[in-house]
A and B are shown apart, each in its own frame.
Chain A
Amino acid sequence: MKLPPFDYACPASLAEAISLLASHEGEAKVIAGGQSLMPMMAYRLATPSLLVDLRKLPGLDRIEIGSKEIRIGAKVRWRDILDSADLRKAHPLVVEAIGHVAHYQIRNRGTVGGSLAHADPAAEMPGIAVACDALIEIVGKAGARVVRADAFFMSALTTVLQSDEIITHVRLPAWPAARRWGFEEFARRRGDFALGAVAVFYDEDGLARAKDVHIGVIGASNRPRRIREAEAILNGRGVTEALIVEAGRAVSAAVDPPDDIHASAAYRRALAGTLTERALMRAVGGAK
């Protein structure tokens, strides 16, 4: 369908963008790549009175790789992530996961900030942010704040972002080169929304026991989640096949998947467990 009418502004500064959002009291929406918002508007699921386009805002399109963290600007596109050989070395998990985002054309426009703000429970970037304990930098009328990813996503398509706030960056903690990890996603067709995906990673102590295990799941609850029950099974132990099966079961038991036309809740629950097992098998097998 054609889009509903709206006013359009293309501010040149963050301060101007925020004041435009604030002056419209919840009726304005930010647009960057528009790859989620445009379909929402076509379906009348979003009918903002004003669109504030971020395309002229400077400085939000960089990937900064530091020794302690990786800082990704909100306007960085999927394509930029996939094209960055430095990022692939510095944080292989995020690049692997983003390779599953939508289709070729969408990846040329869709942005990191847009996906975080949209908060689809099956989206890869929110899942990676939660799995990696990312920090989300936000600026609004009241000033700047930093929110932990697991406190940012409240429910499907719902975040703590206020109507006058804009995501500016996401920060991922630095990634040790020897870290073991795996990412597994299942969708009916390439590029479709995931019916489920699981990101796992852990480091090893001197005795090859897993420590600091992270297991993040998308598509199986109303928001991306770490599954602490499953992480606890592996922490402090050598990762064996028996433990992997146990962790998969713990994930299946902990998730709360939707029941919809794409798949039943029972199917998604089983899938989350299977994907956990596969991701852990990959992690054990070593980095790809």
Chain B
Amino acid sequence: MSQPTLEIRFTVNRKRVRVQVPARLTLADCLRHELRLTGTHLGCEHGVCGACTVIVNGEAVRSCLMLAVQAEGAEIVTVEGLSNDEALTPLQASFRKHGALQCGFCTPGMITTAHALLSEEPDCDADRVREVLSGNLCRCTGYIPIVEAVLDARAAYRKSRGD
């Protein structure tokens, strides 16, 4: 069945993009299929698992619960935008140090969620980290090393704030 498409423009990882999409396409599928940014993972496709979390205008959002057409004009950051080619970022390094990933399926959602949290609240406590990560399912590593990794990365975010 052919569907009418709409043209939308937005920014992904600081790059301006233009895509032609059917209205029913989620932002998650748009990122993965149209823009080949497959770092964003899709688990449940109905807003339960958190694996598809991306950052929209500075805020963590589930990209399976947002239409691509609703991203018109937005600034989006995916997990690809939170890495650099030279070295691990402090958050990535902290995940490695604490063994905070095993199969890696939930990791992009964990990283984007933690980045959004620490960018806004670099002084958050363990309880807040647990509360925020309760929206991201992990079924192999377990949460203890993930919470530790996020807490350990706070110092880097405080530094970038200028403390």
Contact = CB atoms under 8 A, between A and B. Distances in A.
30 contacts: A1-B45, A2-B24, A2-B29, A3-B24, A4-B24, A5-B22, A5-B23, A5-B24, A6-B23, A8-B23, A8-B69, A31-B67, A38-B26, A38-B47, A38-B64, A38-B65, A38-B66, A42-B45, A42-B64, A51-B67, A53-B69, A103-B50, A103-B135, A104-B113, A104-B132, A105-B53, A106-B47, A106-B135, A109-B62, A190-B134
Nearest to A43: B46
A79 B121 CA distance: 14
B61 A108 contact: yes
Interface of B: 1, 3-4, 6, 22-24, 26, 29, 45-47, 50, 53, 56, 59-62, 64-67, 69-70, 72, 113, 117, 130-132, 134-135
Given A7-B23, A8-B23, A79-B59, A105 B135 contact: yes
Given A104-B60, A105-B113, A191-B135, A2 B45 contact: yes
Given A4-B24, A5-B3, A8-B67, A103 B134 contact: yes
Given A5-B1, A51-B23, 7 more contacts: A2-B26, A5-B22, A8-B67, A38-B26, A42-B64, A53-B67, A190-B131
Given A104-B60, A105-B50, A106-B62, A34 B135 contact: no
Contacts of B53: 105
A158 interface: no
Interface of A: 1-8, 10, 31, 34-35, 38-39, 42-43, 51, 53, 55, 79, 102-106, 108-109, 189-191
A262 to B, nearest CB: 14
A17 to B, nearest CB: 15
Nearest to A51: B23
A55 B117 CA distance: 24
Contact of A35 (B56, B65, B113, B134): B65
Main secondary structure of the interface of A (DSSP, over half): loop
Contact of B65 (A7, A34, A191): A34
A191 B104 CA distance: 23
A153 B93 CA distance: 50
A2 B117 CA distance: 29
A8 B86 CA distance: 42
A10 B23 CA distance: 11
A59 B53 CA distance: 28
Contacts of A10: 69, 72
A35 B23 CA distance: 16
Main secondary structure of the interface of B (DSSP, over half): mixed
Contacts of B72: 10
Given A104-B60, A105-B113, A106-B65, A39 B134 contact: no
Contacts of B22: 5
Nearest to A38: B65
Given A5-B1, A8-B67, A191-B134, A105 B62 contact: yes
A39 B47 contact: yes
A109 B46 contact: no
B77 to A, nearest CB: 14
Shortest beta-carbon contacts, A-B, top 4: A103-B135, A8-B23, A190-B134, A39-B46
A34 B70 contact: yes
Contacts of A43: 46
Residue with the greatest number of chain A CB neighbours at <10 A, chosen from B3, B67, B72: B67
Contacts of B70: 31, 34, 53, 55
Nearest to B22: A5
B86 to A, nearest CB: 30
Residue with the greatest number of chain A CB neighbours at <10 A, chosen from B6, B65, B67, B69: B65
Residue with the greatest number of chain A CB neighbours at <10 A, chosen from B4, B46, B113: B46
B46 A38 contact: yes
Residue with the greatest number of chain B CB neighbours at <10 A, chosen from A39, A42, A105: A105
Nearest to A50: B23
Contacts of A39: 46-47, 65
A92 B76 CA distance: 33
Contacts of B50: 103, 105
A105 B24 contact: no
